[in-house]
Amino acid sequence: MSIEHRDDTGARFGMWLFLYTEVILFSGLFILYAMAAAKFPQEYAEASHMLNIYFGTINTIVLLTSSLTIALAVTAIQRNKIKQTLTLCYITIALAVVFLINKYFEWSAEIDHGIYPGSDHLAELGPGITAFFNLYYFTAGLHGVHILIGGTFIGIVAVLIAKGKVTSERYTLFENCALYWHLVDLVWIFLFPLYYLIL
């Protein structure tokens, strides 16, 4: 498709529409969270204290940094700084990997303590704590899938940039990629206090 026939406005609108459906998805999960938290306020606070806040804090810092690097990458490609763009893309992908590895170790520790959906130990802790961790694993797991998809998306676009198919004059695809990554970061900004910082 030639540059003259590219519909950048349509592509951007389509991406925003897709992101809107993603917001609806996570909003539904947040509503479920609010309903359960209202029913089991004490149990939710107790369950929150069972999570490792250090893992959550590190991952928050990692994702905020990745949001900055991908934003800088978009600015770099607009200025036709291809090498800098690619470097920032690779850093963003590396941060995504760090997030997933960190989450792996966090979940491994929790599973070792018998805290996972369907475990006898979790059932013994009562319906409130069980509801908390069922929703926590599902929501955080879904977010993790989005991290994996977003990191892969950035990697694919980085290859296209290296091949000269995404340039300073044609970077809408990359811009949409960055928007998706910002959404992933934004979702975590909600997840972190909801699950880790209940008083």
Q: Tell me: the pLDDT tens digits for 94-152?
A: 999 999 999 999 999 999 999 999 999 999 999 999 999 999 999 999 999 999 999 99
Tokens of 150: 């977003």
Position 6 scores a pLDDT of 62
Position 4 scores a pLDDT of 43
Is the predicted pLDDT of residue 199 greater than 70, yes or no?
no
Position 9 scores a pLDDT of 82
pLDDT digits (tens, 9 = 90+) for 53-104: 999 999 999 999 999 999 999 999 999 999 999 999 999 999 999 999 999 9
Nearest residue to 32 (alpha-carbon basis) of 131, 115, 165, 173: 131
1: pLDDT confidence band, cut at 50, 70 and 90?
A: very low
- Taken in order of first residue, the domains within the chain and their CATH numbers are 3-196 (1.20.120.80)
Mean pLDDT, the chain, rounded, equals 93
**What distance in Å separates the CA atoms of residue 166 and residue 95, rounded to the nearest whole number?**
23
| Positive or negative torsion for Cα 29, 30, 31, 35 | positive
Is the predicted pLDDT of residue 46 greater than 90, yes or no?
yes
**What distance in Å separates the CA atoms of residue 89 and residue 71, rounded to the nearest whole number?**
10
H helix or E strand, kind and range, residue 26: helix 8-39
Position 153 scores a pLDDT of 96
Q: What is the pTM of this model?
A: 0.90
DSSP string, 63-77: HHHHHHHHHHHHHHH
| Positive or negative torsion for Cα 104, 109, 134, 190 | negative
